[in-house]
A and B are shown apart, each in its own frame.
Chain A
Amino acid sequence: MTTNPNVSGSLRNRLVLTLIGGAAVLAVLLFFAVRNYAAQVAQQGQDNILEASVTSILDAAALRDGVLEVDIPYAAFSMLTTPTDDRVFYAIYQDGVFLSGYEDLRLAAAPAQSDWSFTSGELRGERIRQVSASRTLVGLGRQTEIEVVLGQTQDALSRTLDQISRNAAFLGLGFFLLTAALSFWITSTTIGQLNKLTTSVTRRGPQDLSPFKKPVPREMAPLVMSLNSLMGRLDQSLSQSEDFIAEAAHRVRTPLATVRSYAEATLHRVERKENREALRAMVRAIDESSRAAGQLLDHAMITFRTDHLVREDVDLVELIRDLVQRLTPIAEMKELSLSMTGDPTVPYSGDPILIQNAVRNMIDNALKYAPLDSTVEIEITGKPEIKVSDSGPGFLPEEIETLTRRFERGKNAAGTIGSGLGLTIAQDVAIAHGGTLVLTNQPSGGACVILSL
């Protein structure tokens, strides 16, 4: 009955993916930002030490008797000590001429434009940071330029950096996990509001078309509003069509009733055989059409109710007793009796209107075919099962399969009035309650219809 909606994507997935994707990007950015900043700070630290070291070397340089003397202070190197024993290289130049140290250090250094120049490079297969600075010495009318280049490997620095990177990675991962958890939580609370609305729509009874009154978040108000207006329109059109059917039935049946009553009254005054036959045929035709109309309406109502089965607790015995009491006058008219046997109470959960209608059709059927002065037996057992049997001609074995089809009537039904819907209705009701309708013949003759619920 319900058509599955055309599903495209999931709001929850989309939200979660967007939030988690965003968190991942942010976490990676955070990682790089922290690492870069740490690297900068660490580099700055190394540079500062190198600078201090070079400064102390330059300070120690002096022109003595026109000769350059550089006495490298012990502190200049001791301050460069690191836990990883980084190696230190130095080179001293005077006016661009190599004086002492590692001559190849100069090659790696860019010519110093300013006073201080920091560069990273490679020396003897190791990454180094080097700093070069120069100082002009003046003495005895002579001016000379001393340049000091100091390089240091970066083992300690890269170890620190590795440590910081690891910590930054942990930080990023933690941030990511926290954000992911948050986004799951946010998504489910947001979707939860929608689910709550869905549940309250689903849990409504089929007849409940009243508007929603419970508070909803502002963003969902338009949805609820359009839902309410849709239900309002549905309710209106349903009650309109119900009224229409009732009115239509009234308009059709009242004149039919008039015709029938007149035909009956006339029959009492008319003597000629042909006229009487015509009147009888008329009455029969009216009965046939009104019965068919009634059964069709019943069938439509029953189809609706079986589609939206609402179960309530009933006592089958009490339910059927009411029905039997109501049908007794009809049975009496035909000099038939109805007898009811079985358990004293049979509690069951089902739709009482549907069950009564099904059994009514079964009894109607039996009354139609039962011979004069016989008894139609109704038995209710706790299975629960309702069995209606008569002592009429029974079903033709080859027709048993087809009799429950719509508008299908047995061959021996020719002389009786019926629409061919009675057993169809009974079967529909049985199926809606998860049961069956079984048509059999009794060993002693006569039909037996069993409704198992």
Chain B
Amino acid sequence: MKFLLVEDNLDLANAVSSRMRLDGHVIDHASNLEDATAFVETEEYDLILLDIMLPDGDGRDFLKRHRASRLDTPVIVLTARSQVSDRIGSLDLGADDYVTKPFDHAELEARCRAVLRRKSGSAKSTIEIGGVVFDPVAGHLTVAGETLSLRNRELRMMELFINAPGHVFSKQKLADRLFSYDDSVTDNAIEVYVGRLRKHLEPSDLKITTLRGLGYRLDHDH
């Protein structure tokens, strides 16, 4: 996925970008409306994350121009402003969704996924390894010609593994990715989800290996 992040606070932009890259996305960062306009004119993005208060203007004006020029790239507004009226205002202007700062990265991700799913059934985002086709947007996994829908946590775990085959993920890392901060997580819960994925992947060449004391890894049998 290719994202454009329009955010004037560099620290926040770096944090969000690095987190998004960690998930395997490509991120361009614009810190003002001028740059953002230039990016949009030259590149094609799957999604735009747009801050409202920018040094050279209001993000909503950008949104208006963006929609006026018939660009249908989905836009998620990042707002720090007073809650209700502002959020509804941005939706009226053509934003697909909004996230209030400070946001849970998992929520941002879930919203991006929901927006992308609504906007397109886009097959271009699929990943194919070892006879398995994974569509993270639709949440579909096709194994041996059979397509099944993944539950949210299965989906996120699968995304993590498939973006970095051969990489070892500790239980903690997986828990961080799958659960929010107010969920109480047991190691057992991770095992449950790993178990489910293993079952889904059984007919394919992919398998999840347990490395005792270290974690889990996605392997590709040849």
A interface residue numbers (CB < 8 A to B): 242, 245-246, 249-250, 252-262, 264-265, 267-268, 271, 276, 280, 283-284, 286-287, 290, 294, 297-298, 301-302, 326, 328-330, 332-335, 353, 356-357, 415-417
Q: Which residue of A lies closest to B11 (CB)?
A: A258
Q: For A254, give its contact among B12, B19, B172, B173 (CB under 8 Å).
A: B12
Contact with A along B9-32 (1 / 0, CB 8 A): 101100110110010000000000
Q: List 29 A-B contacts (CB under 8 A).
A: A246-B82, A249-B81, A250-B53, A250-B81, A253-B80, A253-B102, A257-B9, A257-B12, A257-B80, A257-B101, A258-B11, A260-B103, A265-B18, A265-B19, A268-B22, A271-B172, A283-B181, A286-B102, A287-B102, A287-B104, A290-B101, A290-B102, A328-B114, A329-B111, A332-B114, A334-B152, A353-B84, A353-B85, A353-B88
Q: For B83, give its contact among A284, A301, A329 (CB under 8 Å).
A: A301
Asked whether any CB of chain A lies closer than 8 Å to the CB of B167, the reply is no
Asked whether any CB of chain A lies closer than 8 Å to the CB of B106, the reply is yes
Give the dominant DSSP class at B's interface. Answer: helix
Question: In the complex, what distance in Å separates the CA atom of A417 from the CA atom of B184?
Answer: 12
Docked-complex contact A254 and B101, CB < 8 angstroms: yes
With a cutoff of 8 Å between Cβ atoms, the chain A residues found around residue B19 in the complex are 261, 264-265
Question: In the complex, what distance in Å separates the CA atom of A335 from the CA atom of B183?
Answer: 12
With a cutoff of 8 Å between Cβ atoms, the chain B residues found around residue A286 in the complex are 102
Docked-complex contact B102 and A330, CB < 8 angstroms: no
B interface residue numbers (CB < 8 A to A): 9, 11-12, 15-16, 18-19, 22, 53, 80-86, 88, 97, 100-107, 110-111, 113-114, 151-153, 170, 172-173, 176, 180-184
Docked-complex contact B106 and A333, CB < 8 angstroms: yes
- With A258-B15, A261-B12, A261-B16 in contact, is A333–B100 under 8 Å at CB? no
Question: In the complex, what distance in Å separates the CA atom of A286 from the CA atom of B102?
Answer: 8
With a cutoff of 8 Å between Cβ atoms, the chain B residues found around residue A265 in the complex are 15, 18-19, 22
Most-contacted residue by chain A among B9, B88, B97, B104 (CB, 10 A): B104
State how many angstroms separate the Cβ of B187 from the closest Cβ of chain A.
Answer: 13
Q: Which residue of A lies closest to B102 (CB)?
A: A257
Question: In the complex, what distance in Å separates the CA atom of A302 from the CA atom of B100?
Answer: 18
Docked-complex contact A329 and B102, CB < 8 angstroms: no
Docked-complex contact B22 and A258, CB < 8 angstroms: no
Q: Which residue of A lies closest to B80 (CB)?
A: A253
With a cutoff of 8 Å between Cβ atoms, the chain A residues found around residue B83 in the complex are 294, 297-298, 301
With a cutoff of 8 Å between Cβ atoms, the chain B residues found around residue A259 in the complex are 102
Docked-complex contact B101 and A268, CB < 8 angstroms: no
Docked-complex contact B84 and A329, CB < 8 angstroms: no
- With A257-B80, A335-B152 in contact, is A284–B181 under 8 Å at CB? yes
Q: For A260, give its contact among B84, B102, B113, B114 (CB under 8 Å).
A: B102
Docked-complex contact A267 and B16, CB < 8 angstroms: no
Q: For A334, give its contact among B84, B173, B180 (CB under 8 Å).
A: B180
Question: In the complex, what distance in Å separates the CA atom of A264 from the CA atom of B83?
Answer: 24
Docked-complex contact B12 and A258, CB < 8 angstroms: yes
Question: In the complex, what distance in Å separates the CA atom of A119 from the CA atom of B184?
Answer: 124
Question: In the complex, what distance in Å separates the CA atom of A276 from the CA atom of B173?
Answer: 11
Q: For B110, give its contact among A261, A276, A280, A330 (CB under 8 Å).
A: A330
State how many angstroms separate the Cβ of A277 from the closest Cβ of chain B.
Answer: 11
Question: In the complex, what distance in Å separates the CA atom of A102 from the CA atom of B105?
Answer: 132
